[in-house]
């Protein structure tokens, strides 16, 4: 697998009410300053597939800040029998401190490559 430094995040629907309490830990496959790809279990996918807007809680290695990034799911596909790939684009308009997140992501992606 092509996981990014074994980076894990929490993902939840970007909604209100009881659905907002759905939260799953998942692994990052790819990360850039434009989007993120996540590997979700079948159970997490079953709970989240009705939502095209998600919140990803992410702490980059070497950075103490926990970022909460709004994302739009652009594509879902099966990786294998157990994993579903979510390809997401960041939604900067719905992200708190978007500029700070962008700066940290850019710094991390430039250092990682």
Per-residue pLDDT tens over the stretch 12-65: 999 887 877 889 999 999 998 899 999 999 999 999 999 999 999 999 988 899
Whole-number pLDDT of residue 1: 43
**Cα angle for residues 84, 6, 29 (degrees, 5° grid):** 35
Whole-number pLDDT of residue 74: 98
Whole-number pLDDT of residue 21: 80
Sign of CA dihedral 62, 65, 68, 69: negative
Give yes or no for residue 107 having a pLDDT over 70. yes
Q: Which domains does the chain have, with CATH numbers?
A: 8-112 (2.40.10.220)
Whole-number pLDDT of residue 16: 81
Q: Which two tokens stand for residue 84?
A: 């579903």
Q: Contact, 65 vs 59, CB < 8 A?
A: yes
């Amino acid at each position: 697998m092509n996981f990014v430094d074994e980076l894990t995040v929490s993902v939840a629907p970007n909604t209100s009410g009881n659905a907002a309490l759905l939260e799953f830990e998942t692994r990052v496959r790819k990360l850039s300053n434009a989007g993120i790809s996540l590997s979700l279990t079948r159970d997490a996918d079953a709970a989240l597939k009705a939502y095209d807007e998600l919140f990803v809680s992410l702490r980059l290695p070497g950075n103490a800040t926990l970022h909460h990034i709004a994302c739009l799911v652009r594509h879902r596909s099966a990786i294998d029998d157990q994993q579903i790939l979510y390809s997401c684009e960041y939604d900067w308009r719905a992200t708190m401190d978007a500029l700070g997140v962008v700066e940290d992501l850019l710094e991390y992606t430039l250092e990682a490559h």
